[in-house]
Amino acid sequence: MTAHTHHEPTFWRSRTGIALLMFLGLAVTLLAAEHWAHLAGYLPLLVLLLCPLMHLFMHGGHGHGGHDQTGPKKE
């Protein structure tokens, strides 16, 4: 049998952390609702900017990082 040790909860799982996360979520929601007219004008631009950012940061998952010829060839 393995002995289970009692771990103290991390900050984000404590009562204070959960209350802080809920407060921050409420604050962001209220700010977005209050300033939606300003944010909605930038939404198409943000979507267009998201495409190249996703390409830059997520392109490594396709196996294009190393172009060495020592590995087995993929058919």
DSSP-assigned letters across all residues of 20-62: HHHHHHHHHHHHHHHTHHHHHHHHHHHHHHHHHHHHHHHGGGG
Q: From CA 48, how far away is CA 38, in angstroms rounded?
A: 17
Instruction: Say if residue 37's pLDDT is above 70.
Output: yes
User: Is residue 36 within 8 Å of residue 28, measured between CB atoms?
Assistant: no
This prediction has a pTM of 0.45
What confidence score (pLDDT) does residue 30 get?
94
Instruction: Say if residue 45's pLDDT is above 70.
Output: yes
Report the candidate in 23, 20, 1 with the shortest Cα–Cα distance to residue 12. Answer: 20
What confidence score (pLDDT) does residue 15 get?
92
**How high does pLDDT run on average in the chain?**
80
